[in-house]
Amino acid sequence: MTTIIRPKAYEEVVDFIAAGTNPGSVVAFSPSPEAKARVFDLIECEKRTGLSAEEKQELDSYMQLEHIMRLAKARARQYLHDD
């Protein structure tokens, strides 16, 4: 059986969703400082020396999560505005 290694930010989003959310908490959600630092490091490394295939996959995962959270935050703001 293969072990799937997920980036810390991925686990943070899964935990956030699993704990239950409401529009206000979605709007307020922010990744941990550690996750932010990791993304920054990967972006800087990509600019300087390039990334390994594993690192590129990790960065791509972060970018997908960021996109999903931006969409969720926009929708949550609509829900808050409609109330």
From first to last of its 83 residues, the chain has per-residue pLDDT tens of 555 556 677 788 888 888 888 999 999 999 999 999 999 999 999 999 999 999 999 999 899 989 999 999 999 999 898 86
Residues 6+ apart with CB under 8 A from 39: 9, 31, 59, 62
Yes or no: say if 17 and 73 are a contact pair by the CB < 8 Å rule: no
Tokens of 1: 């059986």
The CA-to-CA distance between both ends of the chain, in Å, stands at 47
The predicted model scores a pTM of 0.78
